[in-house]
Chain A
């Protein structure tokens, strides 16, 4: 109760621009209910825990804007599956966090309410697109948060802000109520200070949901919070993750992290992922193609902000979407529309989907030689808010390490593993075969039991 008030006060004083909306009433109500439940002896790890939710996850009665002008007044009449699960467990939803518009970006600078700042250095980006959630966790504005990850949008901001973030196996967390960006890649992921926080949140949100056809009907055992004995665990390190473009300070921290695992008893092996280098090209065809279709519903007819209806219908569509979307969203819609259009489908969308198969096969082969694949989450640490804004392609290339897990539907997480030359956090990425989320969470717990990086606060 008191804790929730403190968090709300901190959020109000926040200068990072981490939140789009704050649900003071809802949070107070949920906190009171949780207080009562605890008094009555209901035990639940999430009871009364203050959580922040990315603004592309629907919250009934609370604005859900995707940090976009086109949805700036949109109030869902339904909860996302994950929102329902959190409420059922007694968690307190504090508010909605800032993001790149429609989750398209890796800087949280394309939001319609302005960029979120990195708690470690306010002149730098928190990463993105779940930058608001990452910054809020790092700055202590919430206990944990939900983000979404289509090409690294949970892991990369977790890396940039020095927290832990998991992109679960595709299909383990229902996408019902997650505003779609690229449906075959999107997955909601938990973000927290530690791997244990993340595991608790993960257990709370996952599970089969009949409303999402891609949700996998299978039994999930609770994730063990004991940590994983690393003896006999084979950690694969692909050369391709340490090639050209990787900053030296990031490489240093990541190599050190891998040596920690070796000292803990893991076997370090080399694995080959020959098609990973095509990941960015594949991703930036498939994701925009799906997005161009997913975002067609923002037409100013049933919801959202409408423009230009004094003229004809065609103008209304074009004006509504011209005013409603920022240039990154437009760029991706254009790219995706092109990739699907007559005469180009085979050369782009189909070709990319075939190379996607080859990437999946790479992982399948690699995981016969190892249990976990480790590498950097991002090639660099957080950069200045105004850097690279005019060069979309070089920003896209920053997703090179995170994209493959989305393309293959694999679980992957990022944990803090050191600091770069400018004192900014570095993230270590761990990946596992599908449905082995528990193994990377366990390894991350063990790592954090033996390191202090996750305890350093901005």
Chain B
């Protein structure tokens, strides 16, 4: 799989990472060689093999519909980088 600069930029955008030109070049190379290594998987025949997403067989981990007391607003916002009028604020969301 050839990793192009455009593909690296596309992935970086999806992941919301700003890359400088140096990183862009570096990741292009590294991702190429890592993904090339991953190609060994294509030699494994996986026809009809179910994928594993969980390693234990636990199912139906459910809770009852009970309300616990929420944290205080102060706790909720105690780590917030920017607050205004008791709310977290971010640059305007364009909708």
Which A residues contact B (CB, under 8 angstroms)? 73-75, 77, 169-171, 184, 210, 213-217, 275, 277-278, 280-282, 284-285, 292, 296, 299-306, 309-319, 321-322, 325, 327, 330-331, 333-335, 337-338, 341, 348, 350-358, 360, 392-393, 396, 407-409, 434
Contacts and interface: CB of A to CB of B under 8 A. Distances in A.
Contacts of B31: 331, 334-335, 338
5 cross-chain pairs, A with B, having the tightest CB-CB distances, nearest first: A409-B55, A353-B51, A303-B79, A213-B61, A318-B18
B61 A303 contact: no
Given A302-B80, A351-B42, A357-B52, 12 more contacts: A216-B56, A301-B88, A303-B81, A310-B91, A316-B90, A330-B27, A333-B17, A351-B46, A353-B52, A355-B44, A356-B51, A408-B55
Interface in B21-55: 23, 26-27, 30-31, 33-35, 37-38, 40-42, 44, 46, 49-55
A311 B27 CA distance: 26
Contacts of B78: 75, 77
Contacts, number: 167
Contacts of B44: 275, 278, 351, 354-355, 358
B50 A292 contact: no
B35 to A, nearest CB: 8
A285 B41 CA distance: 11
Contacts of B26: 327
Interface residues of B, number: 49
Interface string B6-17: 011001101111
Contact of A304 (B27, B55, B79): B79
A315 B13 CA distance: 10
29 contacts: A75-B79, A214-B54, A216-B56, A216-B58, A281-B37, A281-B41, A282-B41, A285-B38, A300-B81, A303-B80, A309-B82, A309-B90, A313-B90, A313-B92, A313-B93, A314-B16, A318-B18, A322-B18, A330-B17, A333-B17, A341-B11, A353-B53, A354-B46, A355-B44, A355-B46, A357-B50, A392-B30, A393-B33, A407-B55
